[in-house]
Structure 1
């Protein structure tokens, strides 16, 4: 049987954005990306934002492991978003996912990651490649597209070029998930939303969802009913989703067991007072100023962090 996981992690992996910039290969379906002005110095700004966020997370007792840069023939402008290429489980599995863009496939540094984890006393019992390592069509971009409800052993996913339904079905079956909720979305530009985690987040006790982005209201009612069993639903607008990344947040716990909700400063500013009050019932809000990474990269705070659920070595 599939081992039931806890919902919240106290250890996160982040990747220093030494090659950060506008990714031409992902701009076609990521409407959240914006081209920089020529004199914006985006890499330098992203590196500062990244380090400030690492320091901010560590200051409240979260363990942050930084995967440092390496020299590669091809630049990896989206490497700051590692949650798309790997995830981990409590049973010791390191899962590696097929990526849509060619330069994003170059981000998958399995040996470097395993070394970082093992050097910090985390045990990798098994590394599993999901699908084909060089897969170009049936992609499944990790926790960018897979929103895990670990408590109930369920997956919520929005179909897109980054989330192929056949690959999702094989993954859910092989990993023995009890339920999979696949639904369809549309952004204000008319395209499917490229990653589920920019329109939906599941924490312990709450879920943030952009209901307006789900095109089939019956699909929304189905997933809402599933979540309402034991979670408070906080609905956000399309503007809060697209302009503020209010859904791109992550519920975590520090080394004292105290809960925090990691988000960008833009998301914090975008939530209404009522919504902030709702969220604060479940953890301290932890905003991070990452304007350059959001604007140019088209991802936010949740995209920048991968949870580590692996067992610790003695």
Structure 2
């Protein structure tokens, strides 16, 4: 059975022309430029990707891998932004802010979900790009699947009208807030500053601008029975908030090696009460401004019974 907060399957997109996306660099402070050639950078990203897939599969997670050979989709390795899946058989497809990210959407992923899992409906919001609206999936929203809350940072990647519409369709309560980094720059994606597990939540409360909203978010996380792991600005800079809990042979927290190295022993001890940290080594992929959470689109759907072919 797929667990609510920690799915046992993910979709991952293997990159062939990976690079730091020039169309998203203006508002993604986490992006950096590689010192290597385009070919070398792309090859390194593929090697990191393949090693991550192998490690996840060894831990018992079902990984659906799709190849991306397009030269026009540098961020395709981050599929969590263009679709999400939900218990009860629901799938959402999202409108993207950057024009070249809109090309990441692919029908073969949706068809695989329909074939291998029980899908009742697909709600496609992507046409709203024509109105200049964006809601970039589980990058823009960090979802508490148990408490039915969509934590969302105000940004050009999370339109408030679209957020309300998603929450109505998918039965979530929106909790939106402003967030800024230590340099005063707006946070572009919510999953940079927080990640929610079953028994704990990783979050940099200091990044939430309004003190009252900060208290509300902390209280709601605690009320859900989770232990709050308050991350520092420096830990967020190491992608410690960009993690996802999964179910394999046991419950795991997938995060980057860099992120795990930034956590203090007492923070790791809280995670280890209910999940085993699983570090993935992806330094090249992180130059694009995203980390492990962005690479993994969780499958919160019921698997169809095995069929013989």
The CA deviation string for residues 20-51 of structure 1, in whole angstroms up to 9 with x for no partner, is 10101000100000012253721110000000
- CA change 1:131–1:118 in 2 (3 A) is closer
SS at match of 1:228: helix
| RMSD (Å), alpha carbons | 1.5
Q: CA deviation at 1:136?
A: 5.7
Quote the residue 2:259 is aligned against. 267
Structure 1 gap ranges (5+): none
The answer to whether the 8 A contact 2:97-2:129 is kept is no
The answer to whether the 8 A contact 1:67-1:116 is kept is no
166, 181, 188: which is aligned to 1:171?
166
Q: Which moved more, 1:199-208 or 1:87-96?
A: 87-96
SS at match of 1:186: coil
4, 9, 12: which is aligned to 2:10?
12
Quote the residue 1:75 is aligned against. 72
Counterpart Cα distance in 2 of 1:233 and 1:184? 19
SS at match of 2:274: coil
93, 105, 113: which is aligned to 2:102?
105
Quote the residue 1:85 is aligned against. 82
Counterpart Cα distance in 1 of 2:148 and 2:18? 35
Counterpart Cα distance in 2 of 1:181 and 1:112? 33
Q: What's the TM-score once normalised by structure 2's chain length?
A: 0.93
1:164-203 alignment, distance < 5 Å: 164-177=159-172, 179-203=173-197
1:207 matched to 2:201? The reply is yes
- CA change 1:156–1:69 in 2 (3 A) is same
The answer to whether the 8 A contact 1:100-1:136 is kept is no
SS at match of 2:68: coil
The answer to whether the 8 A contact 1:98-1:136 is kept is no
Counterpart Cα distance in 2 of 1:48 and 1:19? 13
Q: Which moved more, 1:13-22 or 1:182-191?
A: 182-191
Q: CA deviation at 1:313?
A: 1.8
Quote the residue 1:232 is aligned against. 227
Aligned residues: 301
- CA change 1:39–1:313 in 2 (3 A) is closer
Q: Which moved more, 1:126-135 or 1:192-201?
A: 126-135
The answer to whether the 8 A contact 2:180-2:208 is kept is yes
- CA change 1:135–1:281 in 2 (3 A) is farther
The CA deviation string for residues 173-196 of structure 1, in whole angstroms up to 9 with x for no partner, is 23232x221010012332211110
Q: What's the TM-score once normalised by structure 1's chain length?
A: 0.92
Q: CA deviation at 1:311?
A: 2.0
Structure 2 gap ranges (5+): none
Quote the residue 2:22 is aligned against. 24
1:276-295 alignment, distance < 5 Å: 276-295=268-287
Quote the residue 1:245 is aligned against. 239
1:146 matched to 2:146? The reply is no
Counterpart Cα distance in 2 of 1:101 and 1:21? 15
The answer to whether the 8 A contact 1:210-1:235 is kept is yes
SS at match of 2:15: coil
